[in-house]
C-alpha cells in the first residue's frame, strides 16, 4: 500500500492497447485456437466462439479494466477498495494466473527451441520423434523454459513503462508483421486456399454441448479475463484512456490474430492433425516441403514465442504487483519471488511430461492438471464472480460513472453492458460451467 504513490503507468493510449493486446494475443490464439477449432467443427465452432467473445468476453474485459482503472491498485486491493471483504476475488485470480504460468512457460520454452532448431535446420525428418524426444527430455526443455522465464523477469524489473510498455511497442508490431507475411504466403498457395475453404465451412454435426464449453473457455483464456492480468493493466491506464474503446481494440486485434493463425495453419493442409501437437509437429512438417521452408518455420516459431512473451509478462506483472503493493517489497525483489515460484512450477510441469510422468492424479500428469484445473474450473468461476461483482456488488452509480466517464461506453451501450454483466454472463457461464464439470468428472 505504501508504494501506491510511486506506481508506474503506461505513457499513453497506444501503449495501453499494445500492452493489453499483448496479454490477450498469445499461445491461446496461435497454438490453441486452431486445434480446438478443428476438433469442434471448424466454421460452426468459430461462430459460437465469436458469440462468446462478443457477449461474454468483451463485457468481462470492460469490467476488469474498469475495476483496475477505477482503483489504480493491485487485484486484491482493487476489489477490496470497491467493496470491503472482496479482496479474495483478486487473490483467486492471482493464484490462478500463477498456476497458468506453471505450464504456459513450458510451452513458451518449446517455441524458443523450435525457433533455433528451425533456423539451424536441426529438426530433421522425423517431426513427431523430435517433438517427443525433446518434450519428454530432462534438461533441454528445462533450459529453454528458464531462459524464457528470465527474459520475462528482465522485462518486469524494467518497470511498467521502461519494461512492459517498451517491450510491447517492439514486440507487437513485429508480431503483426510476421503474421501478415505468413498469412499472405499461405493464401498464395492454391492448395492452401482449398484446404481453407474446407475448414471454414461450418459442420454443425460436429457441434456438441462440449463445443460450447470449449468456445467459452477459449474466449476467456484468449482475452486473459478473470486472472487479474487485465485488471492490473487497467490500473496502469493513463487518465483519459477509454476503457470501452481499449477493450474493443483489444478484442478486435485478438480475434483477427486468432483467425489469421487458423488461416495460416489450416491452409497448410493440416486439418487432419489435431491436438496440441498441431503447431509443433504438423507445421514444421508442412514447412519442410515448401520453398524456403526453414525461413518460414523460423518466422512461425518466432511469432509463437513473441506472442507467448507478451502474455507471460502480464501474468508475471499481476503477481509481482501483489508482492510490491501488498507485501511492501521492492519491484526487483517482488519480481524475483514470482520468478522463483514460476521456475519451481514450470520445472515440475516440464518434468511431468517425461521423468515424472508416472506421478498422476485422476490420470493426469502435473502439466495437464494445471491446464485442466485452470481452464475448466478457475476461468469460468472467476468469470462468473467478476460479472457478479461488477453487476451486483459495485455500487450502481459508481460503476456507471466509471464506465461512462469521458470517452467510455456511450449512454446507449451502457445498459446493454450492464445487462450482460448482471444476467447473461453469470447465468450462461454457470450453465456451461456445471455441464462442463459434470462432463469432465464423467470422463475421468
Question: With respect to ligand PFF, which residue has the nearer C-beta, 23 or 71?
Answer: 23
The residue range among 25-33, 180-188, 202-210, 362-370 that interacts with ligand PFF, by the rule CB under 6 A, is 25-33
Rounded Cα distance between 418 and 428, Å, is: 15
Position among 10, 20, 28, 62 found at the interface with ligand PFF (CB under 6 A): 28
Shortest Cβ 23–ligand PFF spacing (Å)? 5
Rounded Cα distance between 413 and 250, Å, is: 18
Report 228-247 residues binding ligand PFF (CB under 6 A): 229
Grid coordinates standing for 30? 496461435
Shortest Cβ 229–ligand PFF spacing (Å)? 3
Kindly state whether residue 251 participates in binding ligand PFF, applying the rule CB under 6 A. no
Question: With respect to ligand PFF, which residue has the nearer C-beta, 26 or 426?
Answer: 26
Position among 18, 19, 29, 382 found at the interface with ligand PFF (CB under 6 A): 29
Question: With respect to ligand PFF, which residue has the nearer C-beta, 75 or 87?
Answer: 75
Position among 20, 27, 106, 167 found at the interface with ligand PFF (CB under 6 A): 27
Report 276-335 residues binding ligand PFF (CB under 6 A): 311, 314-315
Rounded Cα distance between 436 and 284, Å, is: 33
Rounded Cα distance between 251 and 373, Å, is: 25
Rounded Cα distance between 237 and 353, Å, is: 39
Position among 52, 53, 97, 175 found at the interface with ligand PFF (CB under 6 A): 97
Kindly state whether residue 217 participates in binding ligand PFF, applying the rule CB under 6 A. no
Kindly state whether residue 382 participates in binding ligand PFF, applying the rule CB under 6 A. no
Position among 15, 80, 100, 182 found at the interface with ligand PFF (CB under 6 A): 100
Question: With respect to ligand PFF, which residue has the nearer C-beta, 229 or 286?
Answer: 229
Kindly state whether residue 157 participates in binding ligand PFF, applying the rule CB under 6 A. no
Shortest Cβ 307–ligand PFF spacing (Å)? 7
Kindly state whether residue 227 participates in binding ligand PFF, applying the rule CB under 6 A. yes
Rounded Cα distance between 381 and 207, Å, is: 23
Kindly state whether residue 98 participates in binding ligand PFF, applying the rule CB under 6 A. no
Kindly state whether residue 41 participates in binding ligand PFF, applying the rule CB under 6 A. no
Question: With respect to ligand PFF, which residue has the nearer C-beta, 71 or 96?
Answer: 96
Kindly state whether residue 222 participates in binding ligand PFF, applying the rule CB under 6 A. yes
Question: With respect to ligand PFF, which residue has the nearer C-beta, 89 or 97?
Answer: 97
Which residues are at the interface with ligand PFF (CB under 6 A)?
23-24, 26-29, 97, 100, 221-222, 224, 227, 229, 311, 314-315
Amino acid at each position: 500500500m505504501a508504494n501506491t504513490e510511486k506506481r508506474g503507468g503506461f505513457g499513453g493510449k497506444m501503449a495501453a492497447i499494445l500492452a493489453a493486446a499483448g496479454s490477450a494475443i498469445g499461445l491461446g490464439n496461435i497454438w490453441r485456437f486452431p486445434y480446438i477449432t478443428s476438433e469442434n467443427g471448424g466454421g460452426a465452432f468459430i461462430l459460437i466462439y465469436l458469440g462468446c467473445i462478443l457477449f461474454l468476453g468483451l463485457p468481462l474485459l470492460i469490467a476488469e479494466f474498469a475495476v483496475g482503472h477505477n482503483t489504480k491498485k493491485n487485484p486484491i486491493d482493487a476489489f477490496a477498495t470497491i467493496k470491503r471483504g472482496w479482496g479474495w476475488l483478486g487473490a483467486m485470480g492471482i493464484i490462478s494466473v500463477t498456476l497458468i504460468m506453471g505450464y504456459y512457460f513450458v510451452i513458451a520454452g518449446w517455441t524458443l527451441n523450435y525457433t533455433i532448431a528451425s533456423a539451424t535446420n536441426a529438426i530433421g525428418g522425423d517431426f513427431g520423434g523430435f517433438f517427443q524426444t525433446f518434450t519428454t527430455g530432462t534438461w533441454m526443455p528445462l533450459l529453454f523454459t528458464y531462459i524464457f522465464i528470465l527474459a520475462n523477469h528482465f522485462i518486469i524489473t524494467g518497470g511498467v513503462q521502461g519494461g512492459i510498455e517498451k517491450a510491447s511497442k517492439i514486440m507487437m508490431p513485429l508480431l503483426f508483421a510476421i503474421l501478415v507475411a505468413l498469412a499472405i504466403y499461405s493464401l498464395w498457395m492454391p492448395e492452401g486456399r482449398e484446404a481453407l475453404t474446407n475448414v471454414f465451412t461450418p459442420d454443425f454435426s460436429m457441434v456438441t454441448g462440449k463445443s460450447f464449453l470449449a468456445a467459452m473457455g477459449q474466449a476467456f483464456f484468449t482475452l486473459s479475463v478473470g486472472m487479474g492480468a487485465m485488471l492490473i493493466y487497467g490500473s496502469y491506464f493513463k487518465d483519459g484512456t477509454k476503457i470501452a474503446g481499449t477493450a474493443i481494440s483489444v478484442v478486435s486485434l485478438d480475434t483477427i490474430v486468432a483467425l489469421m493463425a487458423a488461416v495460416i495453419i489450416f491452409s497448410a493442409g493440416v486439418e487432419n492433425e489435431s491436438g496440441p501437437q498441431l503447431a509443433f509437429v504438423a507445421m514444421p512438417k508442412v514447412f519442410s516441403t515448401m520453398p524456403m521452408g526453414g525461413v518460414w518455420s523460423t518466422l512461425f516459431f518466432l511469432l509463437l514465442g513473441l506472442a507467448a512473451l507478451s502474455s507471460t509478462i502480464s501474468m508475471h506483472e499481476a503477481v509481482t504487483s501483489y508482492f510490491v503493493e501488498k507485501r511492501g517489497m521492492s519491484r526487483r525483489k517482488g519480481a524475483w519471488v514470482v520468478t522463483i515460484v514460476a521456475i519451481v512450477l514450470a520445472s515440475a510441469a516440464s518434468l511431468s511430461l517425461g521423468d515424472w510422468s508416472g506421478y498422476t492424479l485422476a490420470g493426469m500428469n502435473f502439466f495437464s492438471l494445471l491446464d485442466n484445473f485452470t481452464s475448466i474450473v478457475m476461468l469460468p468461476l472467476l468469470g462468473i464472480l467478476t460479472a457478479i461483482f461488477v453487476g451486483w456488488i459495485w455500487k450502481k452509480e459508481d460503476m456507471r460513472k466509471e464506465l461512462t466517464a469521458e470517452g467510455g461506453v456511450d449512454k446507449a451501450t451502457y445498459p446493454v453492458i450492464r445487462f450482460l454483466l448482471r444476467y447473461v454472463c453469470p447465468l450462461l457461464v454457470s450453465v456451461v460451467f456445471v455441464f462442463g464439470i459434470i462432463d469432465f468428472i464423467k470422463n475421468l
